[in-house]
Amino acid sequence: MEFNIINQSAACYKPGTSCCETTLPVAVIGAGPVGLAAAAHLKHRNMPFFVVEAGELAAHVRSWEHVTLFSPWKYNIDSAARILLEQTDWQSPQDDRIPSGRELIELYLAPLAQLLEKQIYTNHRVEAITREGTDRMKSVNRENKPFILHVNTCCGTKQMKASAVIDATGTWDNPNPALSNGVWLTSEKKLTDRIDYHIPDVDENHILYANKRIAVVGGGHSAIHSLLNLVTVKEKYPETVITWILRKSRVEDAYGGGSNDELAARGELGLRIAGYVQKGIVQVETSFYTQAVYEQDGIVLKGENKVLESFDRLIVNTGSRPTFDMHRELRYQADAIAEAVPALAPLIDPSEHSCGSVPPHGEKELRQPEQNFYIVGAKSYGRAPTFLMATGYE
């Protein structure tokens, strides 16, 4: 069965006239996997809600739809969403199969969105969230005032009222730079037309990579995905040169759990890249801390004691970070180090935990000083790279 991804760019929100202030809907920001899961739970509980999405449905997933996940279907479908879908003629994917991003959309997110269609507003970008008639400084009767979402739409800026707000916007569209100090400098920004900050679709755009000198910066699974994709390019275009740039002192530390990994497909990534490194197909630079990126007859990376030069293109997979601009007039907190929800920070410290070892957590840990305001999903983890989709559903 085929499902069309909804698009309500022309359907602007109009406040309902039948609901009193005490029955205002819950606002969910972000129509990705976690945002739609939150909406499914609200629908399952017969609570009024709406979802606003800055772009199209699952816009972040669509940017990596060519990538295969390392978690099978049984971890990728929310429980409340499954209950709703099973009331239709939806066919559940096989639990142990591992989907691509495209399959995640077509077989799960798009069908789920169709069940929630009347409550989803795509191409609605939230500019700011406030309490009605007040800023973050005012405390009198604050908790009894509705939230106001100031939303940029095709019809202009609109105000949408809500009784509670769930921010599930993620961090994907705010990547970290190549520089090891985490700072965005003008010299790097000038080169962004030759830098990919996500996992590029090298098959679709092979002309950018074939027989070129490509450097991949980063030590996580996204970097390994990018490297493995480049290896397929090199097999067809043998003059392609692939360099893996790591802060780690040993490349072996980037391989992960291998055959002992809790997720077999994730472990397989490390085993595969290890083989290509051993064969010399992927060149490795370890203990390299990038201090500058600039143009000089190609892209140059300057480290503390070494310069790597003449790359045609960079792939920077150094993670991403949350933005809190829309929250400025709300009372929110973020951990001083990880920028995660404060109660989560000690639970998700990547030096202590992997994706599978983070202890269970939920509403209590996600509470903010602003009553009825929550940051969920990948954004709740801040800069920590250990987030799993199943965690967001939990």
Domains of the chain are: 21-173+320-393 (3.50.50.60), 186-316 (3.50.50.60)
Mean pLDDT by 10 residues, the chain (394 residues): 41 42 87 97 96 96 93 95 97 95 97 95 97 95 96 94 98 96 96 96 95 96 94 97 96 79 74 94 97 96 95 97 96 96 89 70 93 97 88 88
Residue from 319, 389, 316 nearest 355 by CA: 389
- pLDDT at position 5 is 42
The model carries a pTM of 0.90
- The DSSP letter of residue 223 is H
- pLDDT at position 9 is 45
- pLDDT at position 55 is 95
Residue from 224, 15, 48 nearest 119 by CA: 48
CA 64 from chain centre, in angstroms, equals 10
- The DSSP letter of residue 131 is E
d(CA 112, CA 33): 10
| Total Cβ atoms within 10 A of residue 135 | 10
Contacts 24+ apart (CB under 8 A), 305-310: 308/215, 308/243, 308/245, 310/213
Q: In the chain, what is the greatest distance between 2 CA atoms, to the nearest angstrom?
A: 68
d(CA 361, CA 50): 25
Two structure tokens written together for 268? 């397989």
User: Do residues 54 and 126 make contact, with C-beta atoms less than 8 angstroms apart?
Assistant: yes
Contact partners, residue 292, CB within 8 Å, separation at least 6 = 179, 185, 187, 300, 301, 302
Residue pointed to by tokens 């669509």: 62
Sheet holding 299-302, edge to edge: 292-295, 299-302, 307-311
